[in-house]
């Protein structure tokens, strides 16, 4: 693409309020894991390779247009291997025991912090006060022995809590 790459195009399409409901199916020659992950993070609902047979490509468009998600089978296998087997919380050094001591609301706040939301945004999402969110973040820092929000994000990602 001459002006911007597919990931940035996906990001712009899926974040444009005028295009709410538009779904993106990435069709590319790039099948590296990082490219797939970045495309999905940018908001893609599907990911197929350019060598996909025409009938499967048509089915992929229909699946994504219908509101479902779709990944090329070879990509799916690699991602399952990467995220389920290799990056399991126990193998990634995540603190599952410490997470077990969190309240349900602390889990919600940790997930929102890991997804990049500010305290004010979290308060709006959870319909609680800003000071309540600050208290929850403070408790999370203490309970998870984290220095800052960045460490909370790492813990959440390693533990599979973030989206």
The pLDDT, as a whole number, for residue 141 is 87
pTM for this model (two decimals): 0.51
Q: Which of 60, 86, 112 is the last residue of a domain?
A: 86
Q: What is the pLDDT of residues 104-126, one digit of tens each?
A: 999 999 999 888 888 898 999 99
By residue count, the chain amounts to 163
Crossing angle of the two packed helices 104-114 and 149-158, in degrees rounded to 10: 100
- In this structure, the answer to whether residues 71 and 101 fall within a common structural domain is no
- CATH code, domain carrying 113: 1.10.10.10
Sign of the torsion formed by the C-alpha atoms of 154, 158, 162 and 163: positive
Same domain, residue pair 39 and 106: no
pLDDT at 87 over 50: no
Between the alpha carbon of residue 152 and those of residues 95, 107, 147, the distances in Å are 11, 11, 8
Q: Which among 54, 86, 118 is the end of a domain?
A: 86
Distance (Å, whole) CA 97 – CA 93? 11
Segment 56-76, tens digit of pLDDT: 999 889 988 888 778 887 777
């Amino acid at each position: 693409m001459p002006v911007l790459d597919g990931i940035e195009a996906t990001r712009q399409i899926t974040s444009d309020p005028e295009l709410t409901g538009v779904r993106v199916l990435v069709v590319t020659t790039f099948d590296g894991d990082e490219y797939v992950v970045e495309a999905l993070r940018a908001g893609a609902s599907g990911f197929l390779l350019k060598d996909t047979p025409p009938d499967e490509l048509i089915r992929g468009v229909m699946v994504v247009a219908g509101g479902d998600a779709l990944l090329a089978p070879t990509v799916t296998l690699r991602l399952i291997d990467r995220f389920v087997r290799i990056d399991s919380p126990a193998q990634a050094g995540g603190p599952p025991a410490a997470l077990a001591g969190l309240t349900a609301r602390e889990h919600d706040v940790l997930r929102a912090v890991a997804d990049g939301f500010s305290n004010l945004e979290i308060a709006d999402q959870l319909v609680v006060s800003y000071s309540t969110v600050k208290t929850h973040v403070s408790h999370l820092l203490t309970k998870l022995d984290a220095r800052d929000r960045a460490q909370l994000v790492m813990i959440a990602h390693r533990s599979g809590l973030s989206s």
